[in-house]
Structure 1
Amino acid sequence: MRKFFICICIFFSSNFINAQEYKFTPIVDIECSDVKSQGRTGTCWSFSTSSFIEAEIKRITGKNIDVSEMYTVRNTYPKKAWNYVMRQGKAQFSEGGLAHDVINSISDYGLVPENVFSGLSDNSNQHNHTEMVAVLKGMLDVYIKNPAKKLSPRWKEAINAVLDIYLGKNVTEFTYNGKKYTPKSFRDELGIKPNDYITITSFAHQPFYSNFILSIPDNFSNGSMYNVPLNEFEQTIINALEKGYTVELDTDVSEQTFSSKDGLAVVPLHNDKAAESLLSVRPEKVITQDYRQQEFENFTTTDDHLMHITGMVKDQNGTIYFKTKNSWGSEGNRVKFGGYVYMSSSFIRLKAISVTINKNALNKDLSNKLDL
């Protein structure tokens, strides 16, 4: 009887320990701009990468600059439209994009502050691109059908006119803090060099330490990525944060165990413990390169959302979580931790599609392997 009582005590004690509420201790916490809301748009790629660039500006110059997300969106849509029309509809035309689309826009068109180009119209305070995208898609589909049997080059002017109406006319010159700039001169004064930024991923269907184009729907611009083994992929994120660099993240958020409401993203060892794992610390799966690849190839891991990693914390058991800034606002019952989500090491290893970093954040060994 005494042995039975002891076993029962051990069982409940073990489950009590495993059911502890999360308690996080900061490891690295890099200053960044306030959490914003992307509203009813699919422009997380611009919001997150703009936040990443704002952190880079702060690191380089010490200045807090609110970068316009919609200036990048405005300049990227014509590229999306061209790709869709020239491929005669055999491509994706959507609101999505990737971090390198922002970097490409910065290279081609520069940067402007938010107060110079907000992308808002009709005195609105929230972005909503539902109607605009439907109009653009409808127009592009007509151009692809080519009813006149010879496509007029004016279609590009028509698309730009729609973008002017919904987002605003493009910026060529502006005044900021009493000084005149072009978007490119503003970029240059802030020390942002587009060639400094690279994207890193980890998939076994391509050789490691090579450069390749990852075939995912939102990679409309065929951006290339450096491929590294999974352990080096995660360590690259850690090294960057420890050096004071933030990290741009492309990830899957379609899992039940990603929750902005609870501010957590985990990979529980037992699938039937999904709900419990968002409330209390639970054992997680060990993520290997093979398992990551399997989940990507069977479409369990998909390219859903881009966010901004700004730090690291650990729970009471020593497990590392990455403090990740979202773009769904900072208040309300949809978000916790002020709009941040703590992503466990296992979640990042399994669900992170890629990261974009300043190449100077790489350790010397990996930089040499990638010939950078």
Structure 2
Amino acid sequence: MLRYSPVKDQGISPLCWMYAMLATIETEHIMMGDSVNLSADYVARNFLSEQARCHFLSSGYDRVTLHGTAPQLLRLLNEYGVMPYDSYNHPGLNYDALAKRVVMLSNASTDMSKLEEQCQRIFDERIGALPRKVYMLGAEYTPEEFAHSVYMQGEYTALTSFSHHPFGESFALEVPDNYSDELFYNVPIDVLMKRIERSLRAGHPVCWEGDTSEAGFSFKDGIATLGDNSTPCSQQQRQKAFETRQTTDDHCMCLIGIAHDQNGQRYYIAKNSWGTANPYGGLMYLSEDYVRMKTVALVVKNINM
């Protein structure tokens, strides 16, 4: 199993995509010997600031939402940078309530500069005042400089596997949270599964996005299975489940390892962001058939395979 930073708790906020992609970057660097623990609150604050501007300038047409997909986190890092967790964090904050407050301020505002001032005041009160600089190991960084020390543009690729688009091409995945039209490279499911295994065995985590609404998914028990499936699902079965909404884009986690049970059944170990109150300290074991059937998308490190 790959080494990982402390398991966090996203609370009632729908920010799993931030937590999972940040966890992926953290483990990537921890496996190289770096001590990295990143702030989701810093990214969320800038994300809400950005949306306040868009909501105002579009006269409310662009909605304020905390939903997103893992590749969007990478875009936010490029745009706004990032901070260490210890420099900026507010566990348990109700971001849904904060987003509603942003909408109210935007709807009542007639001046964007004043709106931005109001939002920053609210964010300072609710999340905390932003540090001007990042200090790590005796060095001083701006958030942008710090982000470039942990992530370089083009370092990761987003993958998916659905047959309503050609394989070997990228497309904007049609799931509700991909309102920013992030592109995912489309590959057959066998290729996708091999990429997960090869990445993990090479010491690289995988950001996983998929369906967690199945009866066999239990955070309390720390396990996700599909039941007594004796044969792997086909590409056609995956496609039908997606098109009939039996497979939905519900949640993001970071895959950090491979395990086997007493019967030789393979499981992928996932670092969740729902706290540590389960038998595995917040980790989960996803069966291979579950991952094969219920994966919607991945973000993987670009490495030579």
Same fold (TM over 0.5): yes
Match of 2:237 in 1: 291
Deviation at 1:104, TM superposition (A): 1.2
Deviation at 1:255, TM superposition (A): 1.1
| CA-to-aligned-CA distance 1:67-91 (integer Å, 9 cap, x gap) | 1111111111233344555565555
Match of 1:357 in 2: 300
| CA-to-aligned-CA distance 1:11-56 (integer Å, 9 cap, x gap) | xxxxxxxxxxxxxxxxxx1111121111222211111111111111
Question: How is 1:46-125 mapped onto 2 (pairs within 5 angstroms)?
Answer: 46-60=18-32, 62-84=33-55, 89=60, 93-118=64-89, 120=90, 125=91
Question: 1:222 aligns to what SS in structure 2?
Answer: coil
Deviation at 1:165, TM superposition (A): 2.8
Deviation at 1:196, TM superposition (A): 0.6
Change beyond 3 A, Cα 1:64–1:175: closer
Question: 1:300 aligns to what SS in structure 2?
Answer: coil
Match of 1:221 in 2: 180
- Unmatched segments (≥5 aa) in structure 2: none
Equivalent residue in structure 2 for 1:348, among 291, 297, 301: 291
Conservation of the 8 A alpha-carbon contact between 1:92 and 1:218: no
Equivalent residue in structure 2 for 1:134, among 94, 100, 113: 100
Q: Distance in 1 between matches of 2:173 and 2:64?
A: 18
Deviation at 1:353, TM superposition (A): 1.0
Change beyond 3 A, Cα 1:207–1:38: same
Identify which range, 49-58 or 161-170, moves more after superposition: 161-170
Question: 1:241 aligns to what SS in structure 2?
Answer: helix
- Provide runs of 4+ in structure 1 moved above 4 Å: 82-92
Deviation at 1:204, TM superposition (A): 0.8
Conservation of the 8 A alpha-carbon contact between 1:92 and 1:217: no
Conservation of the 8 A alpha-carbon contact between 2:273 and 2:282: yes
Deviation at 1:157, TM superposition (A): 4.1
Match of 1:165 in 2: 125
Match of 1:13 in 2: none
1:176 has 2:136 as partner? yes
Question: 2:31 aligns to what SS in structure 1?
Answer: helix
Deviation at 1:337, TM superposition (A): 1.4
Conservation of the 8 A alpha-carbon contact between 2:48 and 2:64: no
Identity %: 29
1:185 has 2:156 as partner? no
Change beyond 3 A, Cα 1:245–1:183: same
Q: Distance in 2 between matches of 1:59 and 1:307?
A: 18
Q: Distance in 1 between matches of 2:214 and 2:247?
A: 9
Change beyond 3 A, Cα 1:313–1:92: farther
Higher CA-based Rg: 1
Conservation of the 8 A alpha-carbon contact between 1:92 and 1:220: no
Q: What's the Cα RMSD here?
A: 2.2
Equivalent residue in structure 2 for 1:306, among 246, 252, 258: 252
- Compute the TM-score of the two structures, normalised by the length of structure 1: 0.75
Q: Distance in 2 between matches of 1:88 and 1:209?
A: 39
Q: Distance in 2 between matches of 1:326 and 1:92?
A: 27
- Unmatched segments (≥5 aa) in structure 1: 1-28, 269-281, 364-372
- Compute the TM-score of the two structures, normalised by the length of structure 2: 0.91
Deviation at 1:254, TM superposition (A): 1.0
Q: Distance in 2 between matches of 1:323 and 1:87?
A: 42
Deviation at 1:237, TM superposition (A): 0.5
Equivalent residue in structure 1 for 2:192, among 202, 212, 233: 233
Change beyond 3 A, Cα 1:42–1:178: same
Identify which range, 314-323 or 126-135, moves more after superposition: 126-135
Deviation at 1:317, TM superposition (A): 2.7
| CA-to-aligned-CA distance 1:199-232 (integer Å, 9 cap, x gap) | 1001111110101111212113221110001110
